């Protein structure tokens, strides 16, 4: 098989048929399998996938989750089911046009020294504040993880089989796929593209989810917040020590009483706040350790189509 295409889909009933038609048209001269991962959809996504499977079981496989596990878990499930020379990940909503798959495929066929091709969203339609937020995030990630993050590099990408294997080797439960792509390294070729408008339905990544996703990335790929806490703690301790010595000298040698209820209160409040903040940061890491140590499955497949006896 030349190509496996992984399609994570959560409540995409309005897009599945058109996406399938477009993929079929664009991949016509390749040996390919479409691996749809229904991420616990509550609409008719699974029914639509079943219809497509019944029509074209030579090219279609379906994994359907017991509940919504998130796009990153869906990508992991799809990757676990791949066997082809190349694997592609594409959204189900037609924002990432299937015509680019062939372009990525041809690039890897003709450039042996590259391991992966990634499509880069140029954020043309984003507002100024969105652009600023995204740029800051990518630059921050680059700085604190020392990994290579390209602004706008999307999950819409095509990779060789050994890249997939490396990503599958990372078994963590909280999967920040962008970080995993960057962590495994490899030589990546980037192609700019402009995502289309969503065909039907709503985006699942609103601003709140994006902020959550950004924090997830920082906490999963860096321990720098802990080092910053340590640093601030050190500075405050040092200043406090100096101040303590000054007060003692004032009292012993000059007989000056320490004045000020207000200053005392503000110091207590600032320090109390800082201690809680640092505890919170430590808590974030402890909770992640707790979740990872339980070693729960990344997803649960309730039903599959086209997988024979394979256990997923």
Residue number with CB closer to ligand UDP (91 or 116):
91
CB 174 within 8 A of CB 107: no
SS3 97: coil
Q: Please state the closest distance from residue 154 (CB atom) to ligand UDP, in A.
A: 8
Residues lying near Mg ion in the complex (CB under 5 A) are found at 91, 93, 95
List the one residue from 6, 52, 62, 74 that touches ligand UDP (CB under 6 A): 74
- 178 lines the binding site for ligand UDP (CB under 6 A): no
By CB under 6 A, what part of segment 212-241 binds ligand UDP?
none
- 14 lines the binding site for ligand UDP (CB under 6 A): no
Say which entry of Mg ion, ligand UDP, none residue 204 contacts (CB below 5 to 8 A, set by partner kind).
ligand UDP
Q: Please state the closest distance from residue 74 (CB atom) to ligand UDP, in A.
A: 4
Q: What angle do CA 175, 199, 107 make, to 5 degrees?
A: 60
* Beta-sheet strand order (sheet of 301-305): 188-193, 116-121, 153-160, 86-89, 3-9, 32-38, 60-65, 301-305
Closest C-alpha among 143, 211, 208, 209 to residue 182: 143
- 8 lines the binding site for ligand UDP (CB under 6 A): yes
Site map for ligand UDP, 30-69, x if CB under 6 A? Answer: ---------x----------------------------x-
- Label residues 64-101 b or e (16+ Cβ within 10 Å = b): bbeebbbbbbbbbbbbbbbebebbbbbbbbbbbbbebb
Binding site for ligand UDP (CB under 6 A): 8-10, 12, 39, 68, 70-71, 74, 91-93, 95, 203-205
């Amino acid at each position: 098989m030349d190509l496996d295409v992984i399609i994570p889909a959560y409540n995409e009933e309005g897009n599945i048929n058109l996406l399938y038609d477009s993929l079929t048209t664009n991949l016509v001269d390749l040996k390919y399998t479409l691996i749809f991962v229904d991420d616990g959809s509550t609409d008719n996504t699974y029914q639509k996938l079943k219809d497509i499977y019944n029509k074209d079981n030579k090219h279609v496989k379906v994994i359907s989750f017991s509940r919504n596990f998130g796009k990153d878990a869906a990508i992991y499930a799809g990757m676990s089911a791949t066997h082809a020379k190349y694997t592609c990940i594409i959204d189900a909503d037609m924002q990432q046009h299937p015509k680019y798959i062939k372009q990525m495929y041809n690039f890897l066929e003709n450039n042996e020294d590259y391991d992966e091709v990634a499509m880069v969203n140029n954020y043309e339609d984003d507002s100024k504040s969105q652009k600023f937020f995204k740029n800051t995030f990518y630059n921050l990630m680059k700085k604190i993880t020392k990994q290579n993050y390209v602004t706008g590099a999307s999950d819409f990408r095509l990779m060789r089989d050994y890249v997939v294997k490396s990503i599958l080797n990372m078994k963590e439960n909280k999967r920040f796929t962008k970080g995993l792509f960057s962590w495994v390294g490899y030589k990546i070729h980037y192609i700019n593209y402009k995502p289309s408008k969503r065909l039907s339905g709503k985006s699942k990544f609103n601003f709140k989810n994006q902020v959550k996703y950004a924090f997830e990335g920082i906490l999963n790929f860096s321990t720098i917040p802990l080092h910053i806490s340590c640093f601030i703690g050190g500075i405050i301790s040092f200043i406090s020590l100096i101040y303590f010595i000054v007060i003692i000298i004032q009292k012993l040698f000059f007989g000056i009483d320490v004045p000020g209820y207000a200053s005392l209160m503000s110091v207590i409040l600032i320090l109390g706040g800082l201690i809680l903040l640092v505890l919170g940061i430590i808590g974030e890491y402890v909770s992640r350790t707790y979740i990872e140590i339980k070693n729960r499955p990344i997803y649960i497949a309730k039903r599959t189509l086209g997988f024979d006896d394979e256990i997923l």
